[in-house]
Amino acid sequence: MSFCIELTGKTAIVTGGSSGIGLSISQVLLNAGARVMIIDIDEKRFISVKDEIKKISPEFDFYEADIKNSEKISETVQKIISKESKIDILINNAGIVKDGLLIRMNDEDWLDVINVNLNGMFYITKNVLKHMVKAKSGRIISIASVIGEIGNAGQANYAASKAGIIALTKSIAKEYAARGILANAIAPGFIKTIMTDKLPEDVKDAIKKGIPLNRIGEPYDIANAVLFLCSELSGYITGTVMNVNGGMYM
């Protein structure tokens, strides 16, 4: 038996969809036939990748919005609904890091990370859920992190935000299962993107040594897992965390 994942006729939102993992998710969903609405904080980055995306499919749109701005996110979801009439898939991917030891972490760095990574997910999910509830169907996939499961020195704010994403996902799964809405999280390990490129080479080498599959992950490794969780193949999976990390920390 062979399966081909087909998302033709589905409309997806991808937050932070013009860079790194989010860009790869946007491309994979377009490739499967979905219409993809990218929400990102800066249109300039989107413009730099627009032609690359267009090569796959013209079925996308871009909305500039800061995920931590509740009002702007509500307006953006409304605009998408007016144009698309429905949202079948929500990918909560936008995220930032502001690392530092807890004892020296200022309130701003704590709050920025929680506001973008966790509160941002809350703002957009509650707005999208209203429409999914009416439609009695939907998929919500949120990008957490292995750090949200095991913690990390120097990343208390990030770890707390990602653990929050996992708990919020499990709660959404329970609250909306009866409405046909499935919510899952993906916990990536170490993936090659702008976020991780900043790390010194010796740190990256040390991380790679701890990965049983002996390579740093690529954005498409996460995008492929997202595709599975958007598909009919995962129709009995909700409230889970899928670890996509090359065997790291097992």
| Active site residue ranges | 158
State yes or no: residue 168 binds ligand NAP (CB under 6 A): no
CB of 130 to ligand NAP, least distance (A): 21
- The Cα–Cα gap between 165 and 136 comes to 23
State yes or no: residue 76 binds ligand NAP (CB under 6 A): no
State yes or no: residue 138 binds ligand NAP (CB under 6 A): no
- CA 46-112-220 angle, to 5 degrees, is 40
- The Cα–Cα gap between 82 and 95 comes to 27
State yes or no: residue 7 binds ligand NAP (CB under 6 A): no
21 or 242: CB nearest ligand NAP: 21
Residues between 108 and 137 with contacts to ligand NAP, criterion CB under 6 A: 116
Token pair of 111 as six digits: 């709050």
67 or 230: CB nearest ligand NAP: 67
State yes or no: residue 243 binds ligand NAP (CB under 6 A): no
Window 16-55: contact mask with ligand NAP (x via CB under 6 A):
x-xxxxx-----------------xxx--x----------
103 or 250: CB nearest ligand NAP: 250
Token pair of 187 as six digits: 């916990």
State yes or no: residue 195 binds ligand NAP (CB under 6 A): yes
Which range, of 14-22, 132-140, 170-178, 205-213, touches ligand NAP by CB under 6 A? 14-22
- Which of 14, 66, 89, 248 forms a contact with ligand NAP (CB under 6 A)? 66
Q: What is the DSSP code string of 136-151?
A: T-EEEEEE--THHHH-
CA distances from 43 to 13, 79, 165 (A): 16, 17, 26
CB of 189 to ligand NAP, least distance (A): 7
* Sequence-separated (6 or more) residues with CB below 8 Å from residue 132: 87, 88, 90, 138, 140, 176, 179, 181
Residue with tokens 């292995």: 146
User: Which parts of 77-221 are beta strand (E)?
Assistant: 89-92, 138-143, 181-188
20 or 138: CB nearest ligand NAP: 20
CB count, 10 Å around CB of 171?
Answer: 12
Q: Which spans of this chain sit near ligand NAP (rule: CB under 6 A)? A: 15-16, 18-22, 40-42, 45, 66-68, 93-96, 116, 143, 145, 188, 190-191, 193-196
